[in-house]
């Protein structure tokens, strides 16, 4: 019998980051900063705030910078102590006081295969999967919301939110069977990137999952799909045939940092939330708009 307590998280971070080339040729896309913090750190902070105690990051070739970021740097810490820069020392220490493990996905065989690498780490426990392309700001952390739903249902929970119909082809989409109270849905099926006009709903899977360990039974036997990759969505569909998988409309604002325009927007919005940057950024944005308009008139 699986434990009811969710204490483990898996963060797949083995992707090539081709959308951000050439920046990601030598730097993991997960290390691209939103203002002054790598995107993956926002994900890990959400996990910790949700009560997660152990985190496994699934990496790939060229991802050593992620491990270095969450490792201690005694030389840097000593210099900061000597120079009395306690505020920077605190920022550095925040990235090292977390129980993080690493495993490498030897081949880029898809998200499902990346999650499968966590089987030994997870054991017979429920766990969350958190994708780095989605940052969620919410009063109650998104992952904690999923955990609260799991505590009620003891079933796998998939985080979803409505998206515009014209972009459903970019996401995994749920085909809801029945809508329950509190944003919970029973699901008939899960469709990976449906062709435009064929989507069963506009409820998109947005980078947060909570699974029972039974998901590994289906990942191990999942036939590779599009692109020769093991699709997580296909395994979820098969799990749903065996035991109930729910979709949950989580509360909070989701930021898509997996594509360029979303990344730029997120950076600007996060800068505007900072007391030390907001006014200067507003002034800069106004100046840039004026310069752009003047340039267009010339």
The pLDDT tens digits of the residues spanning 157-172 come to: 999 999 989 888 888 8
Reported pTM: 0.89
Q: What is the pLDDT of residue 226?
A: 67
SS3 label, residue 124: coil
**70 is written with which tokens?**
């969450």
Confidence check: pLDDT of 212 > 50: yes
Q: Say if residues 57 and 93 touch (Cβ distance below 8 Å).
A: no
- Of 64 and 120, the structure prediction assigns the larger pLDDT to 120
**223 is written with which tokens?**
């036939």
Alpha helices of the chain — where are they, by DSSP H? 39-49, 64-69, 74-82, 86-94, 111-116, 119-122, 142-153, 215-221, 232-242, 260-272, 278-297
**296 is written with which tokens?**
């267009």
Confidence check: pLDDT of 92 > 70: no
Q: Which residue has the tokens 């993991």?
A: 28
Interior angle at CA 133, CA 132 and CA 134, nearest 5: 90
Q: Say if residues 155 and 243 touch (Cβ distance below 8 Å).
A: yes
Confidence check: pLDDT of 1 > 60: no
Burial class (CB in 10 A: 0-12, 13-18, 19+), 71: exposed
Find, among 21, 72, 24, 70, the residue nearest to 44 by Cα.
70
Q: What is the pLDDT of residue 281?
A: 95
Q: Say if residues 125 and 8 touch (Cβ distance below 8 Å).
A: yes
- Of 298 and 171, the structure prediction assigns the larger pLDDT to 171
pLDDT band at 179 (very low <50, low <70, confident <90, very high): confident
Q: What is the pLDDT of residue 287?
A: 92
**199 is written with which tokens?**
């989507």
Q: Say if residues 63 and 14 touch (Cβ distance below 8 Å).
A: yes
Could you report the per-residue pLDDT of 141-162, keeping only the tens digit for each? 999 999 999 999 999 999 999 9
Mean pLDDT, all residues of the chain: 87
Could you report the per-residue pLDDT of 220-235, keeping only the tens digit for each? 998 887 677 888 988 9
**56 is written with which tokens?**
């496994």
**95 is written with which tokens?**
């990235």
pLDDT band at 89 (very low <50, low <70, confident <90, very high): low
Q: What is the pLDDT of residue 224?
A: 81
Least confident of 36-40, 77-81, 280-284: 77-81
pLDDT band at 249 (very low <50, low <70, confident <90, very high): very high
């Amino acid at each position: 019998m699986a434990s009811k307590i969710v204490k483990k998280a898996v963060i797949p971070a083995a992707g090539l980051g081709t959308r951000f080339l050439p920046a990601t040729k030598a730097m993991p896309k997960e290390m691209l900063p939103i203002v002054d913090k790598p995107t993956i750190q926002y994900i890990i902070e959400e996990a910790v705030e949700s009560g997660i105690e152990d985190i496994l990051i699934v990496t790939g070739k060229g991802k050593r910078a992620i491990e270095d970021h969450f490792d201690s740097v005694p030389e840097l810490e000593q210099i900061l102590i000597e120079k009395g820069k306690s505020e920077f020392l605190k920022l550095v220490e925040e990235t090292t006081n977390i129980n993080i493990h690493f495993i490498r996905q030897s081949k880029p065989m898809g998200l499902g295969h990346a999650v499968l690498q966590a089987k030994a780490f997870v054991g017979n426990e429920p766990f969350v999967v958190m994708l780095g392309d989605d940052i969620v700001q919410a009063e109650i952390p998104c992952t904690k919301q999923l955990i609260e739903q799991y505590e009620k249902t003891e079933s796998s929970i998939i985080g979803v939110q409505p998206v515009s119909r014209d972009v459903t082809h970019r996401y995994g989409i749920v085909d809801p069977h029945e809508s329950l109270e509190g944003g919970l849905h029973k699901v008939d099926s899960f469709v990976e990137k449906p062709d435009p006009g064929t989507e069963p709903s506009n409820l998109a899977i947005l980078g947060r999952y909570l699974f029972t360990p039974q998901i590994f039974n289906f990942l191990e036997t999942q036939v590779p799909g599009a692109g020769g990759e093991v699709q997580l969505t296909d395994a979820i569909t098969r799990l749903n045939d065996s035991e109930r998988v729910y979709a949950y409309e989580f509360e909070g604002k989701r930021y898509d940092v997996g594509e360029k325009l979303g990344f730029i927007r997120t950076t600007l919005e996060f800068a505007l939330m900072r007391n030390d940057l907001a006014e200067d950024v507003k002034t800069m944005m106004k100046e840039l708009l004026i310069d752009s308009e003047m340039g267009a008139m010339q």
